[in-house]
């Protein structure tokens, strides 16, 4: 037993410290194409004090620490390339308080979004951010996750009211309060949300929740071209229809879903939409949307109000990434995540499609078009040098296009290692400010080292 494992066992208990092969392997990978690298040990704290003791110890001994939620991130965020220990938050999974009057909930970081939504439903409430995977709320705050409902309810950062954070030296602090607004001090909620485990470990999260809408209506609209579909979304947003979700899936991806999930969707660029509201308001929104969609060249539009039918309609969109993964055994998923101003979205998708055809890899385009965020997804054989090189070139070309339009290299997946090389180009002088923040809060560079910013 190494000294590290012995010391950690003394700090915690033997069942909370693992060097089991399978556990190390699980914590050495994410759900993407990035190379596997295992930690030396994985620890499972049960409370804030234990996290504080672990970090104090790691800081004293300069041991790299990688926080871990569910490992569903896509840019090697959780892969511990510097070795050391991984802190797995799965035992800190209690919902501590539901405050319906304040529309707030207090949770530990290991609670997953589906677990939270199950508990909230009894109070007529729901948590809005839906990144597809059943990620933990700690991981979602740390990546500033967003998803299908962001066009209406905002990103993860918008939901954070307060975080209990353990800093690199073991200090425990809070970043906010329960107040709905505040002009007091620097915006630490905003800083820590999206910090990807590089500035501190979250041990308690106070998050906004919403009342379950009285009525929900889902729709699927097909178009002859992606450009027409994007134009339709732009018009709907411009007139201020409070659409709750609007997702684009390209023709190739619809074909993929039909093949893999035994569906029979029309194989055309398709918008999946959802509307939330009261019955009367919804009726008006739906009528107006239909009119605007038809003006933009919509070929067919189908509405569903029944829960089962709505779920069926959305299933295709939700299962898409996994459908590509399961249909391409042995290959890994590389997914771009740029976000551009809405006015540039159509051009950016057109460019991505041209590039995808040029490299000739299996893949498709889908995205949260209401936010200007889309994914080009390719399946790559990591043992085939040519495919790896083509997919890297493809990824870079899409990012450079987005940056040239004043967009961002990542709308929601985050930086990790995969988008690290674009940070300087995207942020310029602000990249140095980020490095200064990292050095001030983690002077020994123990927290998820090498991710987001590179410091010496």
- Binding interface with ligand FAD (CB under 6 A): 30-31, 66-74, 77-78, 89, 109, 131-133, 135-136, 138-140, 142-143, 145-147, 196-197, 201-202, 321-322, 412-414, 448
Compute the least distance from the CB of residue 418 to ligand FAD, in Å: 12
Q: Which is nearer to ligand FAD, 412 or 426 (CB)?
A: 412
With CB atoms as reference, the residue minimizing the distance to ligand FAD is 139
Rounded alpha-carbon distances, angstroms, from residue 254 to 19, 261, 374, 381, 389: 43, 10, 16, 22, 27
66 or 256: whose CB is closer to ligand FAD?
66
Q: Which is nearer to ligand FAD, 120 or 201 (CB)?
A: 201
Q: Which of 70, 83, 69 is nearest to 41 (CA)?
A: 83
Residues 134 and 215: their CA atoms lie apart, in Å, by: 24
| Shortest distance, position 148 Cβ to ligand FAD, whole Å | 7
User: What would the two tokens of residue 438 be?
Assistant: 């990292």
Distance in angstroms (rounded) separating the CA atoms of residues 173 and 180:
19
Question: CB of residue 188 vs ligand FAD: minimum separation in angstroms?
Answer: 14
Q: Are 414 and 198 in contact (CB under 8 A)?
A: no
Closer of 39 and 277 to ligand FAD (Cβ): 39
**Which CB, 310 or 332, lies closer to ligand FAD?**
332
Is-contact 106 128, C-beta < 8 A? Answer: no
Q: Among residues 202 and 223, whose Cβ is nearest to ligand FAD?
A: 202
Calpha distance 396→390 (Å, rounded): 10
Per DSSP, 405 falls in state T
CB of 11 to ligand FAD, least distance (A): 18
Q: How far is the CB of 90 from ligand FAD (least distance, A)?
A: 10
Closest distance of CB 375 from ligand FAD, Å: 8
Give whole-number Cα distances, 89 to 66, 70, 138, 164, 183, in Å.
11, 9, 8, 14, 32
């Amino acid at each position: 037993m190494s000294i590290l494992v012995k010391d950690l066992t003394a700090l915690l208990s033997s069942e909370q410290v693992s060097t089991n092969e399978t556990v190390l392997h699980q914590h050495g990978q994410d759900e993407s194409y990035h190379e596997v690298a295992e930690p030396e040990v994985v620890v499972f704290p049960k409370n804030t004090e234990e996290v504080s003791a672990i970090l104090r110890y790691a800081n004293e001994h300069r041991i790299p620490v990688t926080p871990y939620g569910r490992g569903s991130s896509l840019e090697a965020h959780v892969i511990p390339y510097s070795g050391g220990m991984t802190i797995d938050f799965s035992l800190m999974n209690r919902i501590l308080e539901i405050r319906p009057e304040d529309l707030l909930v207090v949770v530990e970081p290991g609670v997953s979004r589906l677990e939270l939504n199950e508990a909230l439903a009894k109070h007529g409430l729901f948590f809005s951010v839906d990144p597809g995977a059943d990620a933990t709320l700690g991981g979602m705050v740390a990546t500033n996750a967003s998803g299908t409902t962001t066009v209406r309810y905002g990103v993860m950062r918008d939901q954070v009211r307060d975080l209990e954070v353990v800093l690199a030296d073991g200090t425990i602090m809070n970043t906010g309060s329960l107040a709905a607004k505040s002009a007091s001090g620097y915006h630490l909620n905003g800083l820590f949300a999206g910090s990807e485990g590089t500035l501190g470990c979250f041990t308690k999260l106070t998050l906004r929740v919403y009342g379950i809408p009285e009525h929900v209506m889902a729709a699927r609209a097909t178009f002859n071209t992606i450009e027409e579909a994007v134009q339709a979304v732009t018009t709907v947003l411009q007139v201020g229809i409070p659409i709750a979700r609007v997702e684009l899936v390209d023709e190739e991806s619809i074909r993929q879903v039909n093949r893999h999930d035994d569906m029979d969707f029309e194989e055309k660029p398709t918008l999946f939409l959802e509307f939330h509201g009261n019955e009367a308001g919804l009726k008006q929104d739906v009528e107006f949307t239909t009119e605007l969609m038809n003006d933009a060249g919509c070929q067919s539009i189908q509405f569903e109000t029944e829960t089962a039918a709505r779920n069926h309609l959305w299933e295709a969109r939700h299962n898409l990434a996994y459908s590509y993964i399961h249909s391409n055994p042995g290959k890994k998923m590389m997914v771009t995540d740029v976000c551009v101003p809405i006015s540039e979205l159509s051009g950016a998708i057109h460019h991505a499609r041209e590039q995808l055809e040029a490299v000739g890899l299996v893949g498709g385009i889908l995205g949260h078009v209401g936010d200007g965020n889309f994914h080009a997804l390719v399946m790559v054989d990591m043992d085939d040098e040519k495919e790896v090189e083509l997919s890297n070139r493809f990824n870079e070309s899409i990012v450079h296009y987005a940056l040239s339009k004043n967009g961002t290299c990542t709308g929601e997946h985050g930086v990790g290692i995969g988008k690290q090389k674009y940070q300087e180009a995207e942020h310029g002088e602000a990249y140095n400010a980020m490095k200064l923040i990292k050095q001030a809060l983690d002077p020994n560079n123990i927290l998820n080292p090498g991710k987001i910013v590179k410091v010496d």
